[in-house]
Amino acid sequence: MASFDVVGLGENSVDLVYRVPCAPAPDIKIRASSHEVSCGGQVATTLAACASFGLRTAYIGACGNDHNGTRLREALAAATVDTSHCVVRDVPNRHAVILVDERNGDRTVVWHRDPGLALAAADVPGTAVFGTRLLHVDDLDEDASIAAARIAANAGIPVTSDVDRVTPRTLELVTLSTAAIFSAHVPRALTGEQDPERALRKLRVTQAGWLCMTLGAHGAMLLAGDRLHHVPAYEVDAVDTTSAGDVFRAGFIYAWLQSRSPSDILRFAAAAAAVSCTRRGAMTSVPSLPDVHRLLGGQL
């Protein structure tokens, strides 16, 4: 039996979140109505949500040795995410300033990450990868993510990837992924196709795995084999969209491990993301299973 259901490798962050009355514009000053410190980061938030859904999770990544690094590790531990493979470096932890528009929950992120936090391929603990049912990686430290994905793929362990940018190695990571989950702009940049479906189908020519694209207010799209699935976004009163994409990926992973159908996986992931938008913060916004099922209203 695997030690974990999900092992994640990638980003963590400590965010200083300011809620503002409107989106920032050049040369103006805006008074924040409130501010708070929130622990998150792409993979850290995804793992926290997976743990909230009852999955056994572990994190591979680097934290700083400052107060923020300690805060982040404590937040992961409180979320029941195993941090035994988290290394501590003698640099400040990754941090960000997030401006959340009070009108609709949209956000602007300004972040900084010390180069000393980068993971190399040699930093990947193979034993952790072999001990999981599924590996989830982002594209922050590509060498490490690709190395981990290759270990998992060679061992027959499914790999999900959070693909948020385009680099010369993006397609290499996608090829190693059982299910690649893209931000909306990535397939367009990779293929030159502006239409989401055409972009995914063009990628299908060279990529055999599932290809999923998050579309924000327009929901999400998944190409499984040659069949396209699409779900609209659930309508909720959004207060903060910071963790929507990360929680979507957690919902996708959970439903995948439950052997749900492609359409049900997409529906559950979209519902999980919608619930997170009704709450503030990153890791603090992750829903529970009952939260998601209430929004689904018996659809699954």
Return the H-helix or E-strand segment holding 161.
strand 159-163
**pLDDT score, position 299:** 67
| Architecture of the structural domain at 4-21+33-285 | 3-Layer(aba) Sandwich (3.40)
How far is residue 40's CA from residue 99's CA, in Å, rounded to a whole number? 15
DSSP, collapsed to helix, strand or coil, labels residue 235 as: coil
- The sheet carrying 81-89 orders its strands as 81-89, 57-64, 4-9, 132-138, 159-163, 179-182, 210-214, 220-224, 227-231
**Parts of the chain with a pLDDT under 50:** none
**pLDDT score, position 300:** 66
Residue corresponding to tokens 């299908």:
204
In DSSP terms, 294 is beta-bridged to: none
DSSP, collapsed to helix, strand or coil, labels residue 247 as: helix
Residues whose CB falls within 8 Å of the CB of residue 178, separated by 6 or more in sequence, listed in order: 153, 158, 159, 160, 209, 210
Parallel, antiparallel or unpaired: strands 81-89 and 57-64: parallel
- Rounded to 5 degrees, what are φ and ψ at 59? -115, 135
